[in-house]
Structure 1
Amino acid sequence: MLVLVALAACQQAPNNAISPERLPPSINPADPAESQVKEAVLRAYRGMWQDFASAARTADWNAAELRDHATGDALLILRHGLWLAHRNGEVIKGQPVLDPRITSLVPMPSPTKAKITDCVDDTDFRLRGKSSKPGKEDWPAGRHKTTAELSLRKDAWYVTAFVLREAGTC
C-alpha cells in the first residue's frame, strides 16, 4: 500500500479543513432523511475501498468497478497506485480496516458535499509479489489518518478526493 500512501499523501489537505475543535454539529439522528444521506455517504466511501481492494488483488488499474464510487483525484490516485503495483509485478492482498466518521454535510437540509475522517488500518492490506511472497514494502503498516471529500452527482455519492497520511498518525 506504499504506492497509495505516497500518492495520497502528495494530495494537499484542503485549505478549508475543519479542525476537530470546530466541527459542525453532528447530524440529527432522529431525522430519517439525514440518516439516509449519512448511510449513502458512508456506503460510497466504504465502496471505494472495497472496489480498490478487489482491483488490487490483480493490480488491475483499469478495473471498471473503480469508477463505481470514486471520481476525480480520488480515482486518479487509486488507478495510479494500481498501475505502479502492476508495473512492479506486485498485487495487494487483504482488506483495509475502516472506521469512517462524517465530519461535514453541506448545504443542509439537502447536502451535495460531504467530508469524512477515518483511521485506515492497513496491517492486513499489504503488497505481495504475484507469487504471494512479500512485496518490496519498506514502510510500516499501521493506522493512517485519512480525510475524504465526497460529492453527490446524478443521485449518487462519489469520493472525489482523499488524503491518506503515513502510518501512526491516528
Structure 2
Amino acid sequence: MALSLSLGGTAACSSTADTTAAPVSTPPLSTTPTATTPVPTSSAPDPTADAKEGALAAYRGMWTVTVKAYGAGSLNGVDDLEAYMADKALAGFKVAVAYYDKNNMVVKGKPLLVPQVQTLDLAGKPSRVTIRDCVDTSNFQPVDRTTGQPSATDGKTRHVMNAVTMFLDGKWLVTDAAYDREQTC
C-alpha cells in the first residue's frame, strides 16, 4: 500500500502541466562521508534456524518420495529414499509401499502438509528435531490400480503425524514418522 501511494505522489509531482513553477533547489552533494550504521557483510550461522530448515526439508523430501512411490504403487524408479529417511521411517515406508503393491493399490493426488517444529535438541549426539504435522489427505486417496475405484478408508482425512529427524552423516534424515490415529486435526 505504501509503495502504491508513493508512486502516485511521484506521478503528480512530475506532471508537465505547470511549466511556470519555480525550479526546485536541491542541496549540493557532499563529498564528506557521514556516520552511518555499518551493514554486516555476512551473518554468523544460526544453528537453530539451520536445524529447523534442514529437518523440515528432510520431512518434505520424505513426503515427495512418498507421493512418488505411493502413486506408482512400488519402489521402482524411487532412488532417493535414503536422501530423506533412515531407520524406522525408512522401514515403515517400505512396508507401506509393499502393502499397496500386494493389494494392487496406488494413492492418487498429493497431501496438504503444514509441518511445525516441536522440539530441538542440538546438544544431543546426534542432534534431533521433532516435527508435528496435520496431514490433510482429502486429495491423497488410495484407489485400486486396475479399476481406479476408491479403496475403503476410515473416512477421516486429517491426521496428526509425529516425526523425528536426526542429523546423521552430515544431513538431516527422518528416522521415525507415524500417524497418531487417535488424533485428528
**Structure 1: gaps spanning 5 or more residues:** 1-29
Query: TM-score normalized by structure 2?
Result: 0.68
1:71 alignment partner, one of 68, 86, 89 = 86
**Counterpart Cα distance in 2 of 1:142 and 1:82:** 19
Q: Name the residue aligned to 1:23.
A: none
Report 1 or 2 for greater relative contact order, CA contacts < 8 Å, sequence distance ≥ 6. 1
Please say which structure displays the higher CA radius of gyration.
Answer: 2
> After superposition, where does 1:2-151 map in structure 2 within 5 Å?
32-61=46-75, 63-108=78-123, 112-131=127-146, 133-151=148-166
Q: Residue type matched to 1:128 in 2?
A: V
**Counterpart Cα distance in 1 of 2:179 and 2:84:** 17
Q: Residue type matched to 2:55 in 1?
A: V
Between the two proteins, the alignment pairs up a number of residues equal to 141
User: Cα 1:162–1:68, aligned 2, differ >3 Å: closer, same or farther?
Assistant: same
Displacement of 1:36? 2.0
**Counterpart Cα distance in 2 of 1:129 and 1:50:** 21
Once the two structures are superposed, residues 76-130 of structure 1 have per-residue CA deviations (whole angstroms, 9 ceiling, x without a partner) of 1111111111111111111111111111111349971111111111111111122
Displacement of 1:65? 2.1
Contact kept? 2:51, 2:129, Cα under 8 Å:
no
Q: Residue type matched to 1:97 in 2?
A: L
User: Cα 1:167–1:140, aligned 2, differ >3 Å: closer, same or farther?
Assistant: farther
**Counterpart Cα distance in 1 of 2:183 and 2:119:** 24
Percent of paired sites with the same residue: 27
